[in-house]
Amino acid sequence: DAGITQSPRHKVTETGTPVTLRCHQTENHRYMYWYRQDPGHGLRLIHYSYGVKDTDKGEVSDGYSVSRSKTEDFLLTLESATSSQTSVYFCAIRGGQGVRAFFGQGTRLTVV
Amino acid sequence: EDKVVQSPLSLVVHEGDTVTLNCSYEVTNFRSLLWYKQEKKAPTFLFMLTSSGIEKKSGRLSSILDKKELFSILNITATQTGDSAVYLCAVGGSDSGGYQKVTFGTGTKLQVIP
């Protein structure tokens, strides 16, 4: 499987606190994506990146920001966590057109 | 906005049955359609389809794409309990800048009972 790791794997945080999730890849893939997965909604795209410092919003980007200062790292920040952001977060990487996306193992975030 | 719709949302079958899962899509600048299997953790890749009418096969699983009618099907023959999972359909398209997005459907939850 592709070299992609997410950290932390589990986190419990309080409402109103900032939280940063990390996605690290060793594949030198261009594209990186952050999704959240909730029952009944499948995987929804939060933000994606097509290169260092190049990012764009997905369908559920409100309350989230991202940064990609290096090819291998894509950070997702919840600026002020809310209970509605309790979810499982997946990072995915993709080399380019015609290349499948590989997923990290997910981060289970609980906001209390 | 890109859209991927899967049906049925869930189904329960007996071992040995054949199942067909459906995926229809609307996407800007279609590039590819992907199928994933998700058990307790991260989705694992099954197929990628880019051309109409060409069936992809892997053991008891097969899939085909119809780019004219904008849908794909995933067939599983002689189902086994190990096939129980959520099957996700995803479509790769390009945004206005030509950069690639991958949009997922909500998945079909398959339960295979002995």
Q: What is the pLDDT of residues A47-94, one digit of tens each?
A: 999 999 999 999 899 999 999 999 999 999 999 999 999 999 999 998
| pLDDT (average), residues A8-22 | 97
**What are the chain B neighbours of A98 within 8 Å (beta carbons)?**
31-32, 48, 50
Residue B31 Cα distances to A111, B28, B63, angstroms = 36, 9, 16
Residue A18's DSSP bridge partners are: none
> Is B42 within 8 Å of A44 when comparing Cβ atoms?
no
Predicted local confidence at residue A2, as pLDDT: 64
Q: Which of A6-10, B13-17, B51-55 has the lowest mean pLDDT?
A: B51-55
**Predicted confidence (pLDDT) at residue B21 exceeds the cutoff of 60:** yes
> Is B106 within 8 Å of A40 when comparing Cβ atoms?
yes
Residue A90's DSSP bridge partners are: A35
| pLDDT (average), residues B16-25 | 97
Could you give the CA distance from residue B35 to residue B43 in angstroms, rounded to a whole number?
9
Note down the domain range covering B82: 3-113
Task: Report the relative pairing of strands A10-13 and A107-111 from DSSP bridges.
Answer: parallel
> Is A45 within 8 Å of B43 when comparing Cβ atoms?
no
Q: Evaluate whether B34 touches B93 at the Cβ level (below 8 Å).
A: no
Total Cβ atoms within 10 A of residue A91: 27
Query: How many Å lie between the alpha carbon of A59 and the closest alpha carbon of chain B?
Result: 8
Predicted local confidence at residue B94, as pLDDT: 79
CATH superfamily of A4-111: Immunoglobulins (2.60.40.10)
Task: Report the relative pairing of strands B56-58 and B61-66 from DSSP bridges.
Answer: antiparallel
Predicted local confidence at residue A80, as pLDDT: 96
Name the pLDDT band for B14 (thresholds 50, 70, 90). very high
**Predicted confidence (pLDDT) at residue B89 exceeds the cutoff of 70:** yes
Residue A88 Cα distances to A50, A66, A102, B77, angstroms = 23, 17, 16, 31
The number of folded domains in chain B is: 1
Q: Evaluate whether B101 touches B1 at the Cβ level (below 8 Å).
A: no
Predicted local confidence at residue A97, as pLDDT: 61
Domain CATH for B100: 2.60.40.10
Q: What does R_g of chain A's alpha carbons equal in angstroms?
A: 13
